[in-house]
Structure 1
Amino acid sequence: MSLKIRLARAGAKKRPYYHIVVADSRSPRDGRFIERVGSYNPMLPSEHDDRVHLSGERILHWMSQGALPTDRVARFLGQAGLTAMPTYREQPKQSLPKKKAQERAAAAATAPAV
């Protein structure tokens, strides 16, 4: 059984609230879970103390049992100092400007300012 530490959505329509749970990776997002280990309220400002609550002791216990955090939860754990901050993936090349746009930007950068 592979375990995940992930977000489970709660709250009303357009008023999200998330529980941080330990669940079997095969169970649905908002379905069955093993233990609730924290919460996340994205409606609060980022500097607010109640935005993210983590039960550090239980999270470390489950990680020692083999549970893997999702990307967002790993970021929360890194900010809380429980684990190392995750390294971010490179930005996909598909979203970069195309060749002609890159040439125009390079030409504009090298052109003298008038």
Structure 2
Amino acid sequence: MAVALRLNRQGTKDRPYYKIVAVDSRKRRDGRYIEQVGTYDPLKEGTNYTVDLEKADKWIGVGAQVSETVNSIIRKARTAAKA
């Protein structure tokens, strides 16, 4: 099973809200996921994401493919955690 870390769209029309999830890469974008790793709210000002870096590192460690957007959010979270 190929696992991917990607965004799962929630919310309503014109009010998107995303969950960062570990999912079987063959599943639909909003299909059933294995584990939630964090959230992302593009409409919120300032820090608009939460990420459990331990869970993300666990999935990356076992070979999960990370989408570009999720990778950028994880990088931001790591730099914020160091500061």
TM-score normalized with structure 1 length: 0.66
| Selected match of 2:56 from 59, 62, 74 | 59
Task: Tell me the CA shift for residue 68 of structure 1.
Answer: 1.4
In the alignment, structure 1 residue 13 sits paired with structure 2 residue 13: yes
Q: Which has the higher contact order (CA 8 A, sep 6+)?
A: 2
Sequence identity (%): 39
Could you list the runs of 5+ residues in structure 1 that have no partner in the other structure?
83-114
Could you list the runs of 5+ residues in structure 2 that have no partner in the other structure?
none
State the 4+ residue runs in structure 1 displaced beyond 2 angstroms. Answer: none
Task: Tell me the CA shift for residue 4 of structure 1.
Answer: 0.4
Kindly report the root-mean-square deviation, in angstroms, between the aligned alpha carbons of the 2 structures: 1.1
TM-score normalized with structure 2 length: 0.90
User: Quick check: which has more Rg, 1 or 2?
Assistant: 1
State the match for 1:4 in structure 2. 4
